[in-house]
């Protein structure tokens, strides 16, 4: 490492102010600080020192997502094998899936990196590492059949419209990865919804996701309908294990839990938001179950433990609802924010059969209200203290 350290020391004057490559200092700074701890020191108080800076936080989030990538690759191979009659080993399925995921991941990083560097050079600031997390999340939110040009378009929209126009990392209102997914969903719905996009198989194959099964039937019982499906195994345990069609990173709930625990233990993600979302989902699903006998809406009969393991709820709550920038910042606010996300997920899934996956819209909606939640929590706290201590 000493060799690389000396190399950066020799090149630094070239990129610093007055150097030939002064405009490209953000690229030099980003490369150096990925490999080595920054030597930058604060010039004015307060001075806060911590071994975990923003760059390391972003890297830890990316590490937490690696298990989802590994299983996503395996599941792509398994689902393709089921539809084509192949019986491959776990490693062969992984290699097959890797061939699908890698191009999507590369396009997302190339596109996201391009916009991040362009804005950094134009605005003359450091390259923010937030794009690493955004570009890692976007492929996991996509179906394996997503066209690469749409990945590039979605990443562009997520980085530019979802983040940069607000000022960059720390100023965005909405989660950029979810903005990217929402853009594709509403602009090119046939490539990210329906029955023909979830399995990387030959043309003409179709198969519904678990959420689409009860959403398509009236006056039915959700669990019975899922049990009657023979094309895929939609039993509760297999929904947990994740060997089902779906977005690349959201199907295996065990690996998502591992990633969530990792983020909680490293104090990057808020456990209050996750717990609140769980309470909101269970409470609202229980109320919906009570209304199911008087309604023709089959989604109302879906039990809470099925809501929990179907679709992108756990993935969204673990990795996107807890994003520090767009989530609520007060502890009470985090509880409220999480409960409303869980509750809205069930409400959107139940009342809109055309859109059975409600997690994305629930998080984006609560992103918009997170500052308002914090405002009322702080005002309530001020009022309480005034009543307690004012004479």
- pLDDT score at 121: 83
pLDDT at 94 over 90: yes
Single pTM value for the model? 0.86
173 burial (CB, 10 Å; 0-12 / 13-18 / 19+) is: middle
**CA within 13 Å, CB half, 20:** 2
b or e along 131-149 (b: 16 or more beta carbons within 10 Å of the residue's beta carbon)? bbbbbbbbbbbbbbbbeee
How do residues 44-89 score in pLDDT, each as one tens digit? 555 556 666 677 788 889 999 999 999 999 999 998 888 777 778 8
C-alpha span between 181 and 248 (Å, rounded): 13
- pLDDT score at 352: 77
Split at pLDDT 50, 70, 90, the class of 333 is very high
- pLDDT score at 52: 65
Which distant-in-sequence residues (6+ apart) come within 8 Å of 60 by Cβ?
262, 263, 266, 268
More confident residue, 71 or 212: 71
Average pLDDT score over residue span 329-342: 96
Tokens linked to 73: 């690759």
Instruction: Report DSSP state, residue 322.
Output: T
Residue 256 near residue 239 (C-beta atoms within 8 A)? no
Split at pLDDT 50, 70, 90, the class of 346 is very high
pLDDT at 272 over 80: yes
Tokens linked to 347: 């409400």
How do residues 124-151 score in pLDDT, each as one tens digit? 777 777 788 899 999 999 999 999 999 9
Q: Which of 49-58, 149-158, 337-346 has the lowest mean pLDDT?
A: 49-58
C-alpha span between 124 and 366 (Å, rounded): 32
Split at pLDDT 50, 70, 90, the class of 169 is confident
- Of all residues in the chain, what percent are helix, strand and coil, respectively (each to 5)? 65, 0, 35
Residue 184 near residue 153 (C-beta atoms within 8 A)? yes
b or e along 104-129 (b: 16 or more beta carbons within 10 Å of the residue's beta carbon)? bbebbbebbbebbbebbeeeeebbbb
C-alpha span between 374 and 367 (Å, rounded): 12
pLDDT at 232 over 70: yes
How do residues 363-386 score in pLDDT, each as one tens digit? 999 999 999 999 999 999 999 888
Q: Which of 55-69, 249-263, 324-338, 360-374 has the lowest mean pLDDT?
A: 55-69
- pLDDT score at 125: 76
Split at pLDDT 50, 70, 90, the class of 42 is low
Residue 125: left (phi > 0), alpha (psi -120 to 50), or beta? Answer: beta
C-alpha span between 26 and 58 (Å, rounded): 17
How do residues 283-324 score in pLDDT, each as one tens digit? 999 999 999 998 888 999 999 999 999 989 999 999 999 988
- pLDDT score at 377: 95
Q: State what percent of residues in the chain have pLDDT above 70.
A: 92
- Average per-residue pLDDT for the chain: 87
How do residues 4-38 score in pLDDT, each as one tens digit? 777 877 887 888 777 777 777 777 777 777 666 66
Residue 346 near residue 306 (C-beta atoms within 8 A)? no
C-alpha span between 50 and 54 (Å, rounded): 10
Residue-level length of the chain: 391
Q: How far is CA 310 from CA 83, 185, 223, 249, 272, in A?
A: 21, 19, 12, 13, 22
**DSSP H/E element including 146:** none
Helix axes 25-35, 2-15, angle to 10 degrees: 160
Residue 298 near residue 217 (C-beta atoms within 8 A)? yes
């Amino acid at each position: 490492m000493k060799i690389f350290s000396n190399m950066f020391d020799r090149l630094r004057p070239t990129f610093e102010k007055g150097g030939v490559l002064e405009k490209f200092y953000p690229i030099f700074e980003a490369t150096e600080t990925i490999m080595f701890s920054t030597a930058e020191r604060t010039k004015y108080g307060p001075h806060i020192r911590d071994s975990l800076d923003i760059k390391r936080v972003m890297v830890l989030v990316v590490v937490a997502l690696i298990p989802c990538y590994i299983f996503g690759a395996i599941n792509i191979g398994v689902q393709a094998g089921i539809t084509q009659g192949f019986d491959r080993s776990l490693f062969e399925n992984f290699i097959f899936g890797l061939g699908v995921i890698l191009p999507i991941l590369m396009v997302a990083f190339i596109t996201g990196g391009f916009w991040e560097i362009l804005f950094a050079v134009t605005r003359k600031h450091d390259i923010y590492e937030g794009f690493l997390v955004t570009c890692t999340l976007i492929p996991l939110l996509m179906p394996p059949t997503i066209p690469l040009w749409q990945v590039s378009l979605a990443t562009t929209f997520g980085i530019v419209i979802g983040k940069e126009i607000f000022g960059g990392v720390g100023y965005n209102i909405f989660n950029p990865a979810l903005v990217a997914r929402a853009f594709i969903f509403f602009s090119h719905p046939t490539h990210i919804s329906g029955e023909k996009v979830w399995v990387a198989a030959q043309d003409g194959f179709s198969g519904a996701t678990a959420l689409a099964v009860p959403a398509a039937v009236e006056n039915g019982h959700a669990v019975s309908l899922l049990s009657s499906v023979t094309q895929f195994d939609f039993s509760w345990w297999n929904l947990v294990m994740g060997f089902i069609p779906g977005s690349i990173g959201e199907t295996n709930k065990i690996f998502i839990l591992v990633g969530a625990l990792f983020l909680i233990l490293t104090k990057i993600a808020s456990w209050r938001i996750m717990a609140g979302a769980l309470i909101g989902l269970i409470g609202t699903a229980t109320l919906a179950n009570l209304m199911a006998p008087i309604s023709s809406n089959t989604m109302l009969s879906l039990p809470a433990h099925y809501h929990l393991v179907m679709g992108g709820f756990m993935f969204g709550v673990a990795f996107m609802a807890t994003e520090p920038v767009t989530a609520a910042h007060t502890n009470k606010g985090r509880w409220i924010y999480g409960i409303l996300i869980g509750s809205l997920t069930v409400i959107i899934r139940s009342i809109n059969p055309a859109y059975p996956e409600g997690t994305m819209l629930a998080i984006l909606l609560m992103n918009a209200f997170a500052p308002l939640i914090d405002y009322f929590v702080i005002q309530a706290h001020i009022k309480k203290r005034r009543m307690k201590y004012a004479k």
